[in-house]
Amino acid sequence: MRHVPLKRGHIARKRFGQHFLHDPYVLSRIVHAIAPLAGDAIVEIGPGEGALTRPLLERSPKLVAIEIDRDLAAALAAEFPPERLQVIVADALEFDFSALPEGLRVVGNLPYNVSTPLLFHLAGFANRVRDMHFMLQREVVDRMAAEHSTPEYGRLSVMLQRRFRVERLFRVPAGAFRPPPKVESAVVRLTPLPADQIAPVDEKLFASVVTRAFGARRKTLRNALGTLIDAAGLARLGIDAGLRPENVSPADYIRIAMSIDPEAASRLGPEV
């Protein structure tokens, strides 16, 4: 594995997908978008060398940081007193965010190699979150915010838009990072929908319906979901069985899942 030395002496580790943001203008735009206030329960995922941590702590008296790299975690813990910065050495993919206060404001430059599973993991804590601001690969942000019947629309779009309002904020060039990635990045905001706007659908069933549909995205709904709901059942919902999965809105996927007997879940494909 090739290591790239960084200016501050740290080595970017490919296994952690490390690319460190260093552009002051981009950092200021991110902090402005977050608009942290005293009393906010802010948790930063993957603080790295602390480029975003420092300006956040200028606006907020306390921050929790989750860092998988022990060397980086130790450096941050040595720089800030624990009453200002609580550094947790952990893999965010496995971290139980319910251990933190409600009303979380989650921020971070997410590693590209685990961004999608990490977003799914965080979605499970949506009821404890106030908002989330992330730097991600631009293509991932495009998929998160995509409308149905567009090329970028897919499973990620549906699963996130069921629980969040997704807003593309701005793009970030590769040169803003050290070492520069091979792709363009973007900053996105996710705001949980109010509880009264979230349909009471069986979560496992809904996730399985969406996974099954997009696992056969070249097929029609009639064929992709045929063992769960037939053309007549789709017609009763006002949904054309001849549509392909990318032509079906998140709201319609919810209606499909709510019309299926939960006992049918045993016949569904893999869970999210």
Assess whether pLDDT exceeds 60 at residue 14: no
pLDDT digit string, tens, across residues 201-212: 988 889 989 999
List of domains in the chain: 4-197 (3.40.50.150), 203-265 (1.10.8.100)
Residue pair 207/268 in contact (Cβ under 8 Å)? The answer is no
Say how far residue 256 (Cα) sits from the centre of its chain: 24
Q: pLDDT category, 110, cuts 50, 70, 90?
A: confident
Average pLDDT on 19-34 reads 87
The Cβ of residue 220 has, within 10 Å, a number of other Cβ atoms equal to: 18
Q: Tokens for 97, please give them.
A: 């965010």
The per-residue pLDDT for 17 is 46
More confident residue, 6 or 42: 42
pLDDT confidence of residue 179: 76
**What would the mean pLDDT of 193-218 be, rounded to a whole number?**
89
The count of C-alpha atoms lying within 13 angstroms of the C-alpha of 92, restricted to the half-sphere facing its C-beta, is 30
pLDDT of residue 271: 47
Cβ contacts of 66 within 8 Å, gap of 6 or more: 43, 44, 45, 46, 47, 88, 90, 92, 95
Q: How confident is the model at residue 96 (pLDDT cuts 50, 70, 90)?
A: very high
Mean pLDDT (the chain, rounded): 87
pLDDT tens-digit readout, 218-242: 899 999 988 888 899 999 999 999 9
- CA-to-CA dists, residue 39 to 42, 56, 106, 123, angstroms: 9, 12, 14, 23
The model's confidence at residue 15, banded by pLDDT at 50, 70 and 90, is very low
pLDDT band of residue 19 (cuts 50, 70, 90) is: low
Task: pLDDT band for 183, please (50, 70, 90 cuts).
Answer: confident
pLDDT band at 2 (very low <50, low <70, confident <90, very high): very low
User: Per-residue pLDDT tens for 128-179?
Assistant: 999 999 999 999 999 999 999 999 999 999 999 999 999 999 998 877 777 7
Position 97 scores a pLDDT of 95
Residue 5, pLDDT > 60, answer: no
Between CA 148 and CA 157, with CA 152 as vertex, the angle to 5 degrees is 60
| Predicted model pTM | 0.86
Instruction: Provide the pLDDT confidence category of residue 16 given band limits of 50, 70 and 90.
Output: very low
Tell me which of 65 and 203 has the higher pLDDT.
65
Supply the pLDDT for residue 22: 80
Whole-number percent of the chain with pLDDT over 70? 89
Q: pLDDT at residue 270 above 70?
A: no
Q: Is residue 13 very low, low, confident or very high in pLDDT (cuts 50, 70, 90)? A: very low
